Amino acid sequence: MYEKVKCPICGRRLFDKEREAKGTISIKCPHCRKISTVNLGD
């Protein structure tokens, strides 16, 4: 099963992740162009 992950700054969808995913990533939002850190375990 997959969950949608949204940008914590602008709220747009960034990607889909599996529910069992763990770890932390940094990603640049293609919409607002800000770099944010996303905890995959949340």
| 7-28 pLDDT tens trace | 999 999 999 999 999 999 999 9
Collect all residues with Cβ–Cβ distance below 8 Å to 21 and sequence separation of at least 6: 40, 41
Res 42 pLDDT > 90: no
Per-residue pLDDT band at 36 (split at 50, 70, 90): very high
More confident residue, 42 or 32: 32
Please count the structural domains in the chain: 1
pLDDT of residue 8: 92
Per-residue pLDDT band at 30 (split at 50, 70, 90): very high
Cα atoms found within 13 Å of the Cα of residue 36, Cβ hemisphere only: 18
- Residues 17/2, Cβ–Cβ less than 8 Å: yes
Question: Residue 10's domain spans which residues?
Answer: 2-39
Q: Please tell me the distance from the alpha carbon of residue 32 to that of residue 20, in angstroms, as a whole number.
A: 28
